[in-house]
């Protein structure tokens, strides 16, 4: 299942993220793709809000820390692979995040050539010509199809 949405502002992107966050379950894996500044971290702020993460636990682009952890309904692990090279990514030991008790959200997931989780929810953000406009494509395979349907029913 594939869903395409248009967002016209960062707050709209956060609100879409929040609705996604509300339907997530323990163990879910999300992969975000899109160019620099497209709005991946902005979307994750909303997803974290939907998962009950207090906004005081500021969600930002992780810089030198591999994984940020936030406490919501369940733990939320936020990883950003942008600054890692191919070897560092291949050596990543992220099983505990991917198959743990929380929700794992990975920015720049396309840099991972081998993704340990077979299924994940793919969220892509693209710039559109109008300022502040973004195309958001959400693609769900396997068990995520049901999740995306419940999101789509409530949008
Ligand atoms: N519709 C929109 N959705 C999301 N962000 C938007 C939108 N319109 C404008 N913006 C702005 O674009 C920027 C997106 O930055 P953000 O850090 O979320 O991008 P990113 O994809 O995570 O970038 P990076 O690859 O550097 O991590 C923010 O400054 C945000 O305010
Ligand atoms: Mg980012």
Report how many domains make up the chain. Answer: 1
Going by alpha carbons, the residue nearest to atom 8 of ligand 1 is 132
Q: Among 5, 7, 10, which residue has the most ligand 1 atoms within 8 Å of its CB, making it the best to mutate?
A: 10
The burial of 44, by beta-carbon neighbours within 10 Å (0-12 exposed, 13-18 middle, 19 or more buried), is given as buried
Nearest-CA neighbor of 76 among 57, 50, 48, 39? 48
39 in contact with ligand 1, CB cutoff 6 A: yes
* pTM score: 0.94
Going by alpha carbons, the residue nearest to atom 14 of ligand 1 is 39
134 in contact with ligand 1, CB cutoff 6 A: yes
Q: What is the CATH number of the domain that holds 85?
A: 3.40.50.300
Which pLDDT tens digits describe the chain residue by residue (155 residues)? 999 999 999 999 999 999 999 999 999 999 999 999 999 999 999 999 999 999 888 666 556 677 889 999 999 999 999 988 988 888 887 877 888 889 999 999 999 988 878 889 999 999 999 999 999 999 998 999 999 999 999 88
Domain that holds residue 76: 2-153
């Amino acid at each position: 299942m594939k869903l395409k949405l248009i967002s016209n502002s960062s707050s709209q992107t956060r609100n879409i993220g929040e609705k996604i966050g509300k339907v997530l379950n323990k163990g879910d894996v999300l992969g975000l793709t899109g160019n620099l500044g497209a709005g991946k971290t902005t979307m994750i702020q909303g997803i974290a809000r939907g998962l009950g993460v207090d906004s005081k636990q500021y969600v930002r682009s992780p810089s030198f820390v591999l994984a940020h952890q936030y406490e919501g309904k369940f733990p939320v692990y936020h990883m950003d692979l942008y600054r890692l090279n191919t070897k560092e990514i291949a050596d990543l030991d992220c099983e505990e995040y991917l198959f743990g008790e929380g929700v794992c959200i990975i920015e720049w997931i396309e840099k991972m050539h081998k993704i340990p989780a077979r299924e994940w929810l793919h969220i892509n953000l693209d710039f559109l010509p109008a300022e502040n406009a973004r195309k958001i494509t959400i693609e769900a395979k396997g068990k995520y199809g049901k999740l995306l349907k419940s999101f789509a029913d409530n949008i």
